[in-house]
């Protein structure tokens, strides 16, 4: 039995995909700190997972990044910093919703690009709005910074798509090759 996303509903390959996406988000927070690629993760979750699974992945990555930030990276324990953490989580969920809204109605060749751009734009807009209320460093949303964050998200998206392709192509941990995620929903 397959879900609307094209991945079998209960297989080791599906579990591997869930774990890969979650681990990539958590791992990236160790190396990138405040630049976890939430738009890429939200997009891939929207395209490949059922709604509640996708929300769970985004929330799990967000919670883990907060734990890493406050526990390992020494984020200041201030009300403002906590509020920024909430803003990041909410923006990640909004990015997921934006990607999901565009994920099922696009032709296959645009199946990733439009949801990704929407996810990134909504995520950054959420952070920009939060900055208006919480304050931010000068230049935090400059073109150069937003461009760098976009490129980090784009690279993460491409790497995770490639990893997903390997799982599908070789049927790793599953019963043979799996239909490409996101494409089944886009082609119906």
What residues contact residue 110 under an 8 Å CB cut-off, 6+ apart?
none
Find the DSSP H helices in the chain.
Answer: 12-32, 38-48, 51-71, 79-103, 113-134, 143-170, 183-187
Q: Give this prediction's pTM.
A: 0.78
How confident is the model over 141-173, as pLDDT tens digits?
889 999 999 999 999 999 888 887 776 676 554
How confident is the model over 56-115, as pLDDT tens digits?
989 999 998 898 889 888 889 999 999 999 999 999 999 999 999 988 755 555 567 889
How confident is the model over 175-186, as pLDDT tens digits?
443 344 444 443
pLDDT at 6 over 50: no
């Amino acid at each position: 039995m397959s879900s609307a996303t094209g991945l079998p509903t209960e297989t080791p390959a599906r579990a591997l995909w869930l774990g890969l996406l979650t681990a990539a988000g958590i791992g990236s927070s160790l190396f990138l700190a405040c630049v976890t690629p939430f738009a890429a993760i939200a997009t891939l979750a929207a395209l490949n997972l059922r709604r509640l699974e996708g929300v769970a992945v985004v929330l799990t990555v967000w919670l883990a990044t907060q734990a890493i930030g406050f526990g390992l990276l020494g984020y200041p324990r201030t009300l403002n910093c906590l509020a920024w953490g909430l803003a990041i989580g909410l923006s990640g969920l909004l990015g997921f919703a934006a990607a999901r809204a565009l994920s099922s109605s696009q032709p296959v060749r645009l199946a990733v690009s439009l949801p990704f751009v929407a996810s990134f734009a909504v995520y950054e807009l959420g952070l920009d709005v939060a900055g208006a209320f919480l304050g931010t460093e000068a230049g935090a949303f400059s073109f150069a910074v937003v461009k760098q964050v976009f490129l980090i998200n784009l690279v993460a998206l491409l790497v995770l798509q490639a990893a997903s392709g390997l799982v599908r192509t070789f049927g790793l941990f599953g019963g043979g090759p799996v239909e490409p995620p996101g494409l089944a929903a886009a082609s119906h």
